[in-house]
Amino acid sequence: MTKEQKQEVIELLKGKFEQYNNFYITDTESLTVAQVTKLRSVCFNKQVEMKVAKNTLIKKALESLDAEKYSGVYDALNNVTALMFSENPKDPALIISAFRAEAKGERPVLKAAFINGDVYIGDDQLKALTKIKTKNELIGEVIGLLQSPAQRVIAALLEKANKEGGEPAAAPVEAAPAE
């Protein structure tokens, strides 16, 4: 690889690291070509970008962006490295878990994950990463929590009205707009 080609790869990786707040560093060594092709296909279908690059180039790209911010992942840059970039922090973890289950194997191995500034080191973190809540899931939970008290108040008022023998109050009708 020429110096210019290496610089192109570093620039491409820098762009990916800037674009995504989440990336996984995996070891795909010992996977067959067919398995890697299948893994790439699954990633593509789930909007997860998978890139394979030399560890030194990955490290140079990270260091040129923010050496201190990414320092926690440098030790994971060894052997064969495939990077998985995703907007959703748990999609790569789900892909890896499902791929392993289907292949009844231990590969790909999670070496590290960088999720919104937090670093998860080691394959033992994979299960925890599959349980991370996405932004939309958290928003849904908050909305559910906010709706719950109002629904209980309305239910209590309706129950009280029924016990007093009266008809439950009808829902207010919107007035027609004046012309």
Mean pLDDT by 10 residues, the chain (179 residues): 93 95 93 93 96 95 93 93 94 94 90 93 92 80 80 83 67 52
Task: Write the single-letter amino acid at 169.
Answer: A
Q: Check residue 178 and give its pLDDT.
A: 54
Strand ranges across the sheet with 118-121:
49-52, 82-86, 22-27, 109-115, 118-121
Q: How far apart are CA 45 and CA 73, in angstroms?
A: 27
Q: Check residue 76 and give its pLDDT.
A: 94
Q: What's this model's pTM, rounded to 2 decimal places?
A: 0.76
CA 91 vs CA 38, 46, 98, 106, 152: distances in Å: 16, 7, 11, 18, 35
3-state secondary structure (DSSP) of residue 24: strand
Q: Check residue 39 and give its pLDDT.
A: 95
The strand pairing partners of 27, in sequence order, are 109
Q: Check residue 171 and give its pLDDT.
A: 53
Q: Cα-Cα-Cα-Cα dihedral of 146, 151, 153, 159, to 10°?
A: -170
3-state secondary structure (DSSP) of residue 22: strand
Q: Check residue 154 and give its pLDDT.
A: 83
Q: Check residue 166 and give its pLDDT.
A: 55
Q: Check residue 148 and give its pLDDT.
A: 77
Q: Check residue 172 and give its pLDDT.
A: 53
Q: Check residue 78 and give its pLDDT.
A: 92
